[in-house]
């Protein structure tokens, strides 16, 4: 494989510790100072089915998993059948010989070894870690230390079991893939962890959520950290409740965030519109999965872009931005929290399952996170919707002797309902002024990430597709320019002008090419072709590099 990428794939039934084995592998690689990208593929069920975890590692930067694995460990027959083509050149498959005979690869009697212990199949993950440890030439002592740290339940049995598996593998492929040490030991977090931490760093006080994959782990992370950070984290009865509670929270000055996926976001749009007219600072994380409707809950897509851009009835300012990497997710969430409070309007952090739930090694500059701070009223008679040159009225929160009225009806400056023609137009103009100010503000900061290449073609991608493109170009040794708009509304057309008449290719995960349409509509970009994937899976860097190469030739 190119560079020094090594990929470990482990597959089995839900409940057998597949994901955990993947994450232990990721930690082993990062403890070697290497960088890691882990993608978990799982079905929408609790027990059984087929899950797998792919962990790719390199001593240099890596921004995608590779579907061709050097080491494939299968717990059952279904995994063997599924991953028969996922083996890299000279890669090896290690399968459970108790579940299947005559498969290509090396059979290990995982089930009968595990049967010796009370936890039985629950130990398969430990077995996979033992196989990996042996294959990459790790000593037993090191392996046992990792198992102790990562599997605190039944340590003795786990170590005994791991030892026996290690020995069974040793004779056949010990030290087959010695891994070079990397340069720095880094933390590994998921995109949703990064979003949660970014929100906290930006000043989050309250989070409201309703479980929906792939956004649920934000709710879980924040609920777990609530006490540590003094947050109120609430699992409400529906996304309708979620958005309206968050708007109530913002009324008190609490920095609030909500998170969901397409279906839940559909319910929230009524509230997004309420935030528009009441000028409520509110940040909504929309983590996309394949739609329409229930779609494919545990997979990835980028087909809610148009929906996010126009979410909520009526004319009002929506800020939409999408992080390209897990690290960016941290900075951008804090930045968006700051922006929604600066401009008193709803913001949508648009992401996908692929970023939300994949894990990566990160090297964060924690201090770089923005801090949300609204413009405050400083004395005198208060008018919630005072008409200012930039459309941004100062804020004030209860308790106060001044009356603070936020209103879902069109209203006057005080916040009292109006049907006056003059006032309706005046308030529309007031809110509309914020766009000009926002663009002015965005022009002073990074809104598009551009990586210049030597090839005359430019590749446009947003969100986690950016990571896939980055890895594909590295794999293929290709060097077009990459253009990744971070902001999608307002689209930073001022940054895109130079590309309008050049040769441009768009890569995205939407069957109708929503991102390409947006670029054409807003910046009149000349687009030669659109590479799309819409089967719920993220792009594989090898496959994608072939497609890009064809387009570049």
Partner 1 sequence: MENLKTNAEITWCPGCGNFGIFTALRNAIPKLEAKGINREDIVITAGIGCHAKIFDYLNLSGLYGLHGRNSSNAEGIKISNPDLKVITFSGDGNGLGEGLAHTIFAAKRNQDITMILHNNGVYALTTGQFSPLTNQGWKGPSTPLGSFETPFNAISLLIEVGATFVARSYAGDIKHLTKTLIRAIEHEGFSFIEVLQPAMPYHKWEEYKDKIEYLSDEPKSKEEAIKIAHNAHRFTIGIFHQEIREAYHKSLYGSLNPVKESLSRDKRLEKIIEILKS
Shortest distance, CB of residue 414 to partner 1, whole angstroms? 8
Supply 58's token pair.
């390199």
Residue 266 makes contact with partner 1 by CB under 8 A: no
Q: Cβ contacts of residue 437 below 8 Å, gap of 6+?
A: 343, 390, 391, 392
| 376 binding partner 1? (CB under 8 A) | no
- Which CB sits closer to partner 1, 89 or 419? 419
Buried b (16+ CB within 10 A) or exposed e, 162-179: bebbbebbeeebbebbeb
Contacts of 172 (CB under 8 A, 6+ apart): 106
Strands of the sheet containing 455-460, edge to edge, are 448-451, 480-485, 455-460, 503-508, 529-532
Is residue 371 near partner 1 by the rule CB under 8 A? yes
Pick from 139, 149, 187, 445: which binds partner 1 (CB under 8 A)? Answer: 187
What CA–CA distance (Å, rounded) separates 41 from 434? 42
> The tokens of 9 are what?
């794939």
Binding of residue 398 to partner 1 (CB under 8 A): yes
Which one among 33, 49, 253, 263 touches partner 1, defined by CB under 8 A? 253
Shortest spacing between CB 434 and partner 1, in angstroms = 20
Cβ closer to partner 1: 110 or 247? 247
Judged by CB under 8 A, how many residues of this single chain contact partner 1? Answer: 63
Asked if 423 touches partner 1 (CB under 8 A), the answer is no
Beta carbon nearer to partner 1, 130 or 197: 197
- Total Cβ atoms within 10 A of residue 73: 36
Q: Which of 36, 72, 123, 189 binds partner 1 (CB under 8 A)?
A: 189
When the beta carbons of 208 and 307 are compared against partner 1, the nearer one is: 208
Considering only residues 296 through 335, tell me which ones interact with partner 1, judged by CB under 8 A.
none
Q: Does 406 bind partner 1 (CB under 8 A)?
A: yes
Q: Tokens 């441009």 — which residue?
A: 504
Q: Which of these segments, 2-10, 344-352, 396-404, 516-524, binds partner 1 (CB under 8 A)?
A: 396-404
Residue range at the interface with partner 1 (CB under 8 A); choices 111-119, 254-262, 312-320, 495-503: 254-262
CA dist., res. 483 & res. 500, Å (int):
12
Is residue 381 involved in binding partner 1 (CB under 8 A)? no
SS3 for 469? helix
Greatest pairwise CA separation for the chain in angstroms: 85
CB of 92 within 8 A of CB of 69?
no
Please check whether residue 423 is in contact with residue 415, taking contact to mean a CB–CB distance below 8 angstroms.
no
Considering the complex, state which of residue 197 and residue 488 has its C-beta at the smaller distance from partner 1.
197
Give me 393's structure tokens: 């009225």
CB of 159 to partner 1, least distance (A): 23
CA-angle at 301, arms to 323 and 494, nearest 5°: 40
Cα distance between residue 245 and residue 224, in whole Å: 20
Min separation Cβ 400 and partner 1, Å: 6
Residue 252 touches partner 1, criterion: CB under 8 A: yes
Q: Which stretch binds partner 1 (CB under 8 A): 34-42, 193-201, 288-296, 534-542?
A: 193-201
Contact call for residues 73 and 64 (beta carbons, < 8 A): no
C-beta of 177 vs 397, nearer to partner 1? 397
Contacts of 149 (CB under 8 A, 6+ apart): none
Site for partner 1 in 110-149 (CB under 8 A): none
Could you tell me the smallest distance in angstroms from the CB atom of residue 413 to partner 1? 13
Name the residue nearer to partner 1 (CB basis): 209 or 490.
209
**Of the two residues 130 and 200, which places its CB atom closer to partner 1 in the complex?**
200
Residue 137 or 398 having the CB closest to partner 1: 398
For partner 1, which residue of 401, 421, 454, 477 counts as binding (CB under 8 A)? 401
Question: Do 446 and 425 form a contact (C-beta atoms < 8 A)?
Answer: no
**249 lies in the binding site for partner 1 (CB under 8 A):** yes
Per CB under 8 A, 445 contacts partner 1:
no
Residue from the set 14, 84, 119, 226 that interacts with partner 1 by CB under 8 A: 226
Q: Which is nearer to partner 1, 280 or 287 (CB)?
A: 280
Stretch that binds partner 1, among 34-42, 364-372, 447-455, 528-536 (CB under 8 A): 364-372
483 beta partners? 450, 460
Tell me which stretch binds partner 1 (CB under 8 A): 126-134, 238-246, 440-448, 514-522.
Answer: 238-246
Residue 126 parent element (H or E): helix 124-135
Could you say which of 41, 76, 86, 205 contacts partner 1 (CB under 8 A)?
205
Cα distances (Å, whole numbers) of residue 97 to 100, 160, 185, 263, 387: 5, 20, 36, 43, 74
Radius of gyration of the chain (CA): 25
Q: Which stretch binds partner 1 (CB under 8 A): 6-14, 46-54, 92-100, 362-370?
A: 362-370
Q: Which residues on neighbouring strands pair with residue 410, listed in sequence order?
A: none
C-alpha distances in angstroms, 242 versus 235, 284, 509?
Answer: 8, 10, 28
The CB-of-96 to partner 1 minimum distance in angstroms stands at 33
Least distance between partner 1 and beta carbon 263 (Å): 16
Query: What is the full DSSP assignment across 336-374?
Result: HHHHHHHHTSEEEEEEEHHHHH-EEEE---GGG-----P
Give the H/E segment covering residue 72.
strand 69-74
H helical segments located in 213-304: 216-229, 239-251, 262-278
CB of 448 to partner 1, least distance (A): 27
Alpha-carbon 414 to chain mean position: 40
Where along the sequence are the contacts to partner 1 (CB under 8 A)?
A: 187, 189, 197, 200-201, 203, 205-206, 208, 225-232, 234, 236-238, 240-241, 244-256, 270-271, 274, 278, 362, 364, 366-367, 369, 371, 397-409, 414-417
């Amino acid at each position: 494989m190119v560079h020094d990428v090594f990929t470990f794939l482990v597959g089995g039934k839900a409940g057998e510790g597949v994901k955990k084995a993947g994450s232990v592998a990721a930690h082993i690689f990062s403890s070697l100072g290497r960088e890691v990208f882990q993608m978990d593929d799982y079905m929408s069920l609790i027990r059984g089915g087929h899950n797998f975890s792919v962990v790719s590692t390199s001593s240099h930067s890596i921004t995608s998993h590779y579907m061709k694995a050097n080491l494939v460990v299968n717990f059952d027959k279904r995994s063997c059948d599924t991953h028969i083509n996922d083996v890299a050149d000279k890669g090896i498959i290690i399968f459970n010989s108790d579940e299947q005979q005559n498969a290509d690869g090396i059979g290990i009697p995982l089930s009968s070894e595990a049967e010796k212990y009370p936890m039985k199949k629950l130990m398969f993950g430990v077995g996979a870690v033992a196989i990996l440890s042996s294959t990459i030439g790790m000593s037993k002592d090191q392996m046992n230390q990792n198992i102790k740290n990562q599997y605190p339940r039944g340590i003795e049995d786990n170590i005994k079991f791991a030892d026996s598996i290690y020995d069974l593998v040793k004779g056949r492929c010990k030290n087959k893939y010695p891994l070079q040490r990397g340069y720095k030991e880094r933390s590994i977090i998921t995109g949703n962890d990064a979003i949660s931490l970014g929100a906290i760093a930006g000043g989050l006080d309250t989070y409201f959520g309703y479980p929906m994959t792939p956004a649920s782990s934000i709710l879980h992370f924040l609920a777990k950290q609530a006490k540590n950070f003094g947050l109120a984290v609430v699992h409400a009865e529906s996304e309708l409740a979620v958005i309206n509670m968050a708007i109530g929270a913002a009324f008190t000055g609490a920095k609030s965030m909500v998170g969901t996926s397409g279906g839940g976001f559909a319910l929230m749009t009524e509230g997004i519109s309420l935030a528009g007219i009441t000028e409520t600072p509110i940040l909504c994380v929309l983590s996309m999965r394949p739609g329409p409707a229930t779609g494919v809950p545990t997979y990835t897509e980028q087909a809610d872009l148009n929906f996010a851009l126009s979410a909520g009835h009526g004319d009002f300012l929506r800020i939409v931005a999408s992080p390209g990497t897990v690290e960016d997710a941290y900075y951008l969430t804090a930045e968006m929290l700051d922006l929604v409070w600066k401009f008193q309007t709803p913001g949508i952090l648009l992401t996908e399952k692929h970023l939300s739930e994949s894990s990566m090694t990160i090297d964060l500059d924690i201090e770089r996170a923005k801090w949300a701070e609204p413009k405050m009223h400083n004395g005198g008679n208060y008018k919630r919707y005072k008409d200012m040159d930039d459309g941004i009225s100062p804020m004030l929160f209860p308790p106060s002797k001044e009356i603070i009225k936020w209103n879902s009806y069109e209203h006057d400056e005080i916040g009292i309902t109006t049907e006056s023609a003059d006032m309706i137009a005046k308030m529309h103009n007031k809110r509309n002024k914020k766009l000009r100010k926002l663009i002015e503000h965005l022009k002073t900061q990074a809104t598009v990430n551009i990586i210049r290449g030597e090839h005359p073609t430019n590749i446009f991608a947003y969100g986690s597709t950016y990571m896939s493109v980055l890895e594909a170009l590295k794999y293929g040794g290709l060097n077009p320019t990459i253009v990744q708009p971070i902001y999608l509304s307002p689209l930073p057309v001022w940054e895109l002008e130079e590309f309008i008449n050049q040769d441009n290719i768009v890569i995205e995960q939407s069957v109708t090419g929503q991102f390409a349409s947006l670029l054409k509509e807003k910046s009149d970009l000349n687009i030669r072709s659109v590479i799309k994937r819409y089967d719920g899976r993220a792009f594989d860097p090898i496959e994608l590099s072939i497609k890009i190469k064809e387009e570049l030739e």
